[in-house]
Amino acid sequence: MADRAQEGLYSRQLYVLGDGSRRLSAAAVLVSGLRGTGAQAAAALVLAGTGRVVLHDRGQASVADRAQQFLLRESDIGQNRAEASRRALAELNPHVTVVAYTGELSEAFLTSFQQSPFTAQAHVVVLTESPLEEQIRIGNFCHAQGICFIVADAKGLAGQLFCDFGEHFIVNDPAEGEPICAAVKHISKGNPGIVTCTGMEGSRGHLFSDGDLVTFSGVEGMTELNGQEPVPVQVMDAFRLKIGDTRSFSPYRCRGLVSQVRLPQVHSYKPLSQALAEPKIQVGNPEDLSRSLSLHAAFQALHAFHEEQGRLPRPRVLADAKRVLELARSLAVQPGPLDEDVVQAFASVSAGDLCPVAAVVGAMAAQEALKAITRKFLPLDQWLYFDALECLAVEGVTQLTEEDCVPRGSRYDGQIAVFGAAFQELLGRQKYLVVGAGAIGCELLKNFAMMGLAAGPEGDLTVTDMDTVALSNLHRQLLYRSADISKPKSVVAAAAVRRMNPDVRVTAHQNQVGPATEMLYGDDFFRHLDGVASALDTLEARAYLESCCFRYLTPLLDSGTEGPRGNMLAMVPHLTKLLGPAAAPEDDTFPLCTLRYFPQTIQHTLQWARDEFEGLFQLPAEHVNRFMEDPAFPEQLPTGKAVEVLEQVQRSLQERPRDWRDCVRWARRHWQSCYHDAITQLLHTFPLEHEVKPGVPFWTWDKTCPHPLIFNPDNDTHLEYIMAAAHLFAQSHKIPPCSDRASASTVLRSVVLPPFVPQEGFQIHLSEEQEEVSADDERLEELTRDLVQQRQDLIGSEEAQVPLMEPIHFEKDNDIHIDFITAASNLRAESYSIPPTNRLMSKRIIARIVPAIITTTAAVAGLACLEVYKLVWGCRDLSCYRNSNFSLSDCLLLRFQPLPASVYWYCGREWSCWDRLEMRAVSADGQEMTVQNVLDWMQKTHGWTVTMLLHGFTVLYDSGEKEGIRALMKKQRLSATVENAGKPQQWVLKLEYVCEEEDAETEATRPPLMCFLH
């Protein structure tokens, strides 16, 4: 995956899997069983870029498969599932070879699969829908042959996952993210030596933990540390670490990097035949172990029942469930008592097929396969059980009978087996809004299509997203293909939903849900919704959507991911606590003097490079074009700023290139100015020996002394900077760029620059206060006069184009933009002895890209859809709902009951955070009420005397005003404030108030007053 196209496609995943992702293209995975779980696992592996995926299934696609098998079309019914799935999967990723195999999983076939010359690095076998006897046979073979082996099974509301990666499996990198690094500021001589350091990536302190192994590099003075074997550290505080004995080392002088070392780990696994009787089960909480042991017995009992009866237990048939329980008792594998309620509940719906459960189990299985291939993250050791049996405690579900759940010959029979036929009709009538059609949004929509949400005559599914499909979306956003690039996501996603399930009534919008679109997503829209599912990537959008759902008492399912981690939160009116504000990201802004003169981390040099990009290729072009349109525009700016802008315009006009060679020459001059001349001037003003005061050096741990660079056309980084800068400069001046490095090198060798002579008395501002530009009216007048004349000359020129220049806005997925940022940053880092970073990491940091992978998004969407079932039932029991946190990197899955709605006291009684005062603000004859009517209603209904009434920031009534003003306020119609503000008509007004009866010091929270205007 080294080339640019692959990097652009898989960039978000590369941030998750690291260097291990390069092993994917040479790996092969066999997925056996292409119903729901197998389809999810196979799709994730194909999207992730696995070199070869072999699909195995000997069965034919049926109508009922389409409750969870999203790869099948109606025309595939009756065809082999593997063959039909292969066609769909091949479209997902043209870089992956997808093969269908419909024969027996014999040792001969598995041997040939293992010996394929295409796959020299990793082989993985994933079994789904397999009988236990086959699992044991193939598991034993794989264990003996060194093939990584996974069993993934989903039955009804429960799932099972097993991994056996052999007796000697090496994990190269067990943890998430990149190894921790910190910039060394000082190292003491002593036993132990004390390392003072500051963190990287914007963190102030280091992020090391006790016992971490570290190495040192780039240390000057105490050079004995450089290249030493890893040593353990002991954390003293956020800025200091203890290391070994440094008494015999040279004194520390400056610089250096301390880096975490992650050593490979060796893990050993038992074969399935042994692990069945001696299970090692991974759980999120110790108290969950008993439940998982009971499910371990239940799954084995289910296999025994199937072998005995030739079928799965019939839904809601008590005799079948009791027989499974008897078989589970006879197995007696767990040390503690069997949870018989869990076993019977599991058995009673085990014939069901639910897309959300398959999504969770299939995604986790795919992640384990990726671990086997990439050697990144700790594999599952060895069993994991997952269930959502709390769904069976929902009122309505508990009353279902065998007749309610018998098959109807429908695509939803697998779902009907769990929730009944009447529930399927309820699902079809749902009206839902999906906000965001990115990775999570695609998985939600896919699940909704399989579930039949909004597939009835009264149903409605709205999906809205402002974005268009990009190349980097394709590896994790299931509904998009390369032909969809640049098309609106919502439109493409809606079309994909219709192909999966033509009955779903889906509508695509291309809008942001926010204050600017309240006319579209206002009272009428939200009041008709049954629920909202969100997958938003900004805190502001999330907070606004939550406020809407709170206002209209609409359930909200909020999902989010970062790398292998995911979370899902349910907000249910009157039951759960409000989601509340998420943790705000750390402020990533840096002091201007740090960026200009004293960078300490690669984050500083990257931000400097980003500012350079804007200052060279965007702002000058915008200012030139604006001046050409309106030479008087600087008059609107402060004098100092106007001078700065006009000097920029003057430079741009003076530097106008005639051809590509002029652009290369400009890039060379600018390189010299940034990396040689500016540094030389800084060192002339503040020499290495400069002191702030006697005995106090200027260049200290927070001010690294730089060194100027000497240009070398044979240096790759130097040339990459020239090529990218020249390309962008040419583009901004509307000159065709050239990518011929040889031609550029020829031009560079002919460039002769005069020697730089530092200025005496040159002012270098060391604080932002000193940066203020002084007003210079004479300079402004001179610049304006000269530029007006130049403008007239250009307007009269036949060669002048309108607009004169092309402003270039930074785009994170533009290779040239990232090339410039990376080269510019690394050159500056070299000057300041800061370790450089590659373009992929530069792109992540400067564009603030969140790592993402298909397995995490599929799992979190599956968990969200399990809560949809409860919402559709109208569940009012908080104990049935679940929030979820999980980390696929270490197979940790936590599902827990949401916190109950918070309460507070106001005017002598307890209120829930969901409570509100509701007033019909229209009289019997249809007349809208006035502020006086509201005041009277509050007094009559609640006995409260209102002293202040507000709508947003608008004061409707204030008892402290003069009598005449109060009288006018009381006569005002309620909607007048909305009309005066020019806002769209609202049928529900949320008013805030202050009452005489409240204790202002202790009662800051009040139930809002909702006034209904129709």
> Which residues are designated catalytic?
593
Give the contacts of 343 (CB within 8 A, at least 6 positions apart).
294, 295, 297, 298, 301, 324, 325, 328
Paired with 198 in beta bridges are 183
Q: Which amino acid is present at 384?
A: L
**Residue among 663, 846, 614, 816 nearest 8 (CA):** 816
Tokens of 745: 């090198």
Q: List own/partner pairs for 571-575 with CB under 8 A and 24 or more apart.
A: 571/546, 572/871, 572/878, 572/881, 572/898, 573/914, 574/876, 574/901, 574/912, 574/914, 575/876, 575/878, 575/881, 575/898, 575/900, 575/901
In contact, 868 and 454? CB cutoff 8 Å:
no
Structure tokens at 359: 């999504």
* Residues 434/444, Cβ–Cβ less than 8 Å: yes
Compute the radius of gyration of the chain from its Cα atoms: 33
What does the DSSP 8-state code read for residue 767?
A: S
- In this structure, the number of other CB atoms found within 10 A of the CB of residue 407 comes to 16
Q: How far apart are CA 679 and CA 343, in angstroms?
A: 73
Nearest-angstrom CA–CA distance, 122 and 22:
12
Closest Cα partner for 860 from 540, 470, 534?
534
Q: In what order do the strands lie in the sheet with 158-164?
A: 97-101, 52-56, 27-32, 122-127, 148-155, 158-164, 383-387
Distance CA 897, CA 899 (A): 6
How many other β-carbons are positioned within 10 Å of the β-carbon of residue 78?
10
Q: How far apart are CA 427 and CA 458, in angstroms?
A: 10
> CA dist 501 to 70, 498, 939, Å?
9, 5, 54
CB 872 within 8 A of CB 356: no
Q: Are 652 and 621 in contact (CB under 8 A)?
A: yes
The secondary structure element, H or E, covering residue 920 is strand 917-920
**How far, in Å, CA of 568 to CA of 50, rounded?**
28
Instruction: Look at the block and give the residue holding tokens 């020499």.
Output: 687
Q: Say how far apart CA 649 and CA 791 lie, in whole Å.
A: 11
What are the residues facing 151 on neighbouring strands?
A: 127, 162
Q: Which amino acid is at 227?
A: G
String of DSSP letters for 93-143: -TTSEEEEE-S---HHHHHHHHT-TT-SSEEEEEE-S--HHHHHHHHHHHH
Residue 401 neighbours by CB under 8 Å, 6+ apart: 316
- The Cβ of residue 629 has, within 10 Å, a number of other Cβ atoms equal to 12
**Distance in angstroms (rounded) separating the CA atoms of residues 486 and 472:** 12
Tell me the C-alpha distance between 745 and 767, whole Å: 40
CA dihedral 332, 335, 340, 341 (to 10 degrees): -150
CA dist list (Å): 668 to 719, 793, 821:
9, 29, 16
